[in-house]
Amino acid sequence: MSSETTPTSGPVKSTGLHLGDAEPGCRKVDPILVADGVTRTFGGLKAVDVAHVEIPRGAITALIGPNGAGKTTFFNLLTGFDKPDSGTWQFDGRSLAHVPAYRVARMGLIRTFQLTKSLGLLSVLDNMKLGAKDQTGENLFRSLLPFLWRKQEQEIEAKAVELLTRFKLDAKQHDYAASLSGGQRKLLEMARALMSDPTLVMLDEPMAGVNPALTQSLLDHILDLKTQGMTVLFVEHDMHMVRHIADWVVVMAEGRIVAEGDPHSVMQDQAVIDAYLGAHHDTDLGAAHTSNVEAVKELIDDEQ
Amino acid sequence: MIDWGSIFSNAAVELISPTTAAYALAALGLAVHFGYTGLLNFGQAGFMAIGAYGYAISVLTFGFPVWGAVLVGIGASIVFALILGIPTLRLRADYLAIVTIAAAEIVRLLFTTNTFVAVTGSANGLSEYKGGFRALNPLSFEGKAGFGPWMFSANDWWNIIVGWSVVILAVLFTWLLMRSPWGRVIKGIREDEDAVRALGKNVYSYKMQSLIIGGVFGTLAGMIFIMPRAVIPSAYATSLTFFIWAILLLGGAATILGPVLGSIVFWVLLSFFSGFIARAVEAGWFPISEVQAGQLRFILVGVAIMLLVIFRPQGLLGNKKEMSFVK
């Protein structure tokens, strides 16, 4: 296929991210996030049971899996929003175990939420400014002396306006965030995450509830993060999007990592098909097991 | 016939009375808690009681000077805020509400119990602690001075001046805080604390700072409150907390001058209603007894607040735009 026949050339994919075979828990050339033996149970349910996983640096990694696979729980564990029963995990070589969420964020690992958390009764600009790191005026005592933080505040504001312009929200900067549409809130949340110059951006279902017209611009923004040298890890259900932008795909099912690989090969993986469709999706249960038929017959007899 | 002049002049007195100042300051503390940070504090009466008793006990039992007694009260309220906040601020907002309402009652009952009668005066409360405060009064004249309905003694003027000065300082302090990046974090926490946490802010610490600041305002209000009267434990019942909440919602929860205006309106209306009803009963306008008349004013204030919440839910000074996004 030549480039003339494909007018919409796809994004440049990063390849050669892994060492050895692309199997669950395989090693990466340059991992930014490494998790070992992370487990989390809710009562009798083992929501997350990840033996080993590495997230490659400078690439876009998708975390997919059917509903209830433990993707969001795993996200919460990694970012300090939930505490695991056991396990260790490192970000850029620094351990993240038992580090509270706000410190994780300060290390440069910023997340967004599945249900957007825009701060409704703050202006869009204030939402953005809140994302900035190391603002002196956020200290109680220094906040009383405006000359200590005014200059920094102006720099933060300039940066916020620049980001808002990039995300086409600059016309809305003085409105309450509550007045934005659902898609705009997703954009705002992503822009806000960028205020702190993170090294790893974790997006929890960035496309959920976004109308198709906005999808393309959101996708471009995510690809943009990669070109700016950030690492992206995102949870998504939309397979088109995963195939389109992800360099690497990690598949979870029932709390475990069942497959890893580049988006095209991973979707052919038997374990992934089983996870999504069930291991017996192509066997005819009725014909194969005569005992089932007899059991059903007995039930019908009982009812009569 | 009804003496309208005395009804209006009594109402006018409440405009600048130290009690109005005390309620305004306590409501400003609640504005910091609830209006800006989203903390549900139902124990503001407890903070006021700690201010009142902290001051009175320091002076009477330990013989502290005025500044020492004030510092003891502030210190006690910081400790109280820490005790309330450490277990509850990591939990959902409603836990703080339950703990504060219970803690305020515990404080009141501790001051009421006979066990500590030598220090707290039990149900009779405390008095005779005003000497040190009055000795600082630069005004010295006999009888009453002032103009119009505002004719007060030198001690009353001193209470008014100090009370409203503290209110003005607290208003300036809150204004400086809320326009700063610190205030921005606090308002963010009110909207969604998980989002603020995800942006690298130590939410727990900010909530604690807010709880302490609002609590100290309540404590100072408790000290202003006892200057024109004695310390009586029954004054710090939960109804005090709810009057302060009413004032806050009347003025506008996330406003700085709202609590001050709310307190003035509340007390002027209350005084006007009570004067009017008492005179009207005397004149035979209402077929009720004088005891019943004493309660009727609260019913009228309640109706006034209900109408306000229905037709102006943002309060007198609140931003109408905010309400259009509240679910």
Chain B nearest CA to A231, separation (Å):
17
Q: Which two tokens stand for residue B122?
A: 């039990």
Please enumerate in sequence order all residues whose Cβ is within 8 A of that of A64, keeping only pairs 6 or more positions apart, or say none. Answer: A71, A235, A236, A237, A239, A242, A249, A250, A251, A252
Cβ atoms of A247 and A17 closer than 8 Å: yes
**pLDDT tens by residue, A173-203:** 999 999 988 888 888 999 999 999 999 999 9
- Cβ distance A122 to B209 less than 8 Å, yes or no, reads no
Type and span of the H or E element at B145: strand B145-147
- Cβ distance B196 to A130 less than 8 Å, yes or no, reads yes
- ipTM of the prediction: 0.85
Under the banding of pLDDT at 50, 70 and 90, the label for residue B195 is very high
Find the chain A residues whose C-beta atoms sit closer than 8 A to any C-beta of B.
79, 81, 100-103, 105-106, 110-113, 117-122, 126-127, 129-131, 133, 135-140, 143-144, 146, 149, 153, 176, 178-179, 192-193, 195-196
Burial of B106 per CB tally in 10 Å (0-12, 13-18, 19+): exposed
Selection from B308, B301, B316 nearest residue B252 by Cα: B316
Measured between beta carbons, the chain B residues lying within 8 angstroms of A130 are 184-185, 188, 196, 199, 201
The confidence score (pLDDT) of residue B248 equals 93
DSSP state of B227: S
- Cβ distance A121 to B191 less than 8 Å, yes or no, reads yes
Cβ atoms of B175 and A139 closer than 8 Å: no
> What's CA B137's distance to the chain center, in Å?
24
Cβ atoms of B293 and B286 closer than 8 Å: yes
Rounded Cα gap, residues B49 and B55, in angstroms: 10
Q: Which residue has the higher pLDDT, A278 or B234?
A: B234
The confidence score (pLDDT) of residue A285 equals 56
- Cβ distance A113 to B190 less than 8 Å, yes or no, reads no
The confidence score (pLDDT) of residue A280 equals 66
**pLDDT tens by residue, B102-144:** 999 999 999 999 999 999 988 899 999 999 999 999 988 888 8
Chain A nearest CA to B173, separation (Å):
8
In the predicted structure, residue B58 carries a pLDDT above the cut 70: yes
Length of chain A: 304
Nearest CA in chain B to A190: B199
Measured between beta carbons, the chain B residues lying within 8 angstroms of A149 are 180-181
Please enumerate in sequence order all residues whose Cβ is within 8 A of that of A65, keeping only pairs 6 or more positions apart, or say none. Answer: A71, A251, A252, A253, A258, A275
Type and span of the H or E element at B150: strand B150-152
Which of B32, B173, B179, B180 to mutate against chain A (most A CBs within 10 Å)? B180
DSSP state of B89: T
The confidence score (pLDDT) of residue A5 equals 40
- Cβ distance A192 to B196 less than 8 Å, yes or no, reads no
Taken in order of first residue, the domains within chain A and their CATH numbers are: 31-118+196-298 (3.40.50.300), 121-179 (no CATH)
Nearest CB to A117 within list B184, B195, B322: B195
Taken in order of first residue, the domains within chain B and their CATH numbers are: 4-323 (1.10.3470)
Pairing verdict, β A31-42 and A86-91: antiparallel
Chain B nearest CA to A299, separation (Å):
49
What are the percentages of helix, strand and coil residues in chain B, rounded to 5? 75, 0, 25
Look at A52-56, B89-93, B254-258 and tell me which has the smallest mean pLDDT: B89-93
Convert chain A into a string of H (helix), E (strand) and C (coil): CCCCCCCCCCCCCCCCCECCCCCCCCCECCEEEEEEEEEEEECCEEEEEEEEEEEECCCEEEEECCCCCCHHHHHHHHCCCCCCCEEEEEECCEECCCCCHHHHHHCCEEECCCCCCCCCCCEHHHHHHHCCCCCHHHCCCHHHCHHHCHHHHHHHHHHHHHHHHHCCCHHHCCCEHHHCCHHHHHHHHHHHHHCCCCCEEEEECCCCCCCHHHHHHHHHHHHHHHHCCCEEEEECCCHHHHHHHCCEEEEEECCEEEEEECHHHHCCCHHHHHHHHCCCCCCCHHHHCHHHHHHHHHHHHHHC
Burial of A271 per CB tally in 10 Å (0-12, 13-18, 19+): middle
Mean pLDDT of all residues in B296-302: 80
